Amino acid sequence: MPNVTFLPMNQTVVADVGDTILEVAISNDIPLQHACGGYCACTTCHIHVKAGMENLSSMEEEEEERIEAVDRLTTVSRLGCQSKIQGDVTVEIMNVDD
Ligand code: FES
């Protein structure tokens, strides 16, 4: 089963193939924000994929359009609620509560 490592807390958890990054975060009490509830309608679940981008589902049009609105947009930006896990991945949460 795939391992997902969340930064900056550096916490690694086990996921099922097909789970989204958001689903795995919620089930492991990792504070990944999700203001819209995971419907690709906000940007609070923004992550940077530090390793394993090839192990996430590819971006669909809805996510491509939505992600334009994030702060600190990079080529490794994804929305956690739209990224389905297919293998090991390391992601950095961009909206961390202080
Ligand atoms: S939780 Fe709102 S876009 Fe992901």
* Overall domain count for the chain: 1
Q: Could you tell me if the CB of 42 is within 6 A of ligand 1?
A: yes
Q: Could you tell me if the CB of 36 is within 6 A of ligand 1?
A: yes
Residue 14 located in a structural domain: yes
Give strand pairing partners of 11. Answer: 6
Residue 98 located in a structural domain: no
Closest ligand 1 atom to residue 66 Cα is 3
Sign of CA dihedral 17, 20, 22, 26: negative
Residue 47 located in a structural domain: yes
pLDDT tens-place string over residues 28-63: 999 999 999 999 999 999 999 999 999 999 999 999
Question: DSSP character for 81?
Answer: G
pLDDT tens-place string over residues 1-32: 999 999 999 999 999 999 999 999 999 999 99
pTM over 0.85: yes
The CATH code of the domain that includes 60 is 3.10.20.30
Residue 54 located in a structural domain: yes
Give strand pairing partners of 77. Answer: 48
What are the respective helix, strand and coil percentages of the chain, to the nearest 5? 20, 30, 50
Residue 13 located in a structural domain: yes
Nearest protein Cα to ligand 1, atom 3? 40
Domain coverage including residue 35:
3-93
Q: Could you tell me if the CB of 70 is within 6 A of ligand 1?
A: no
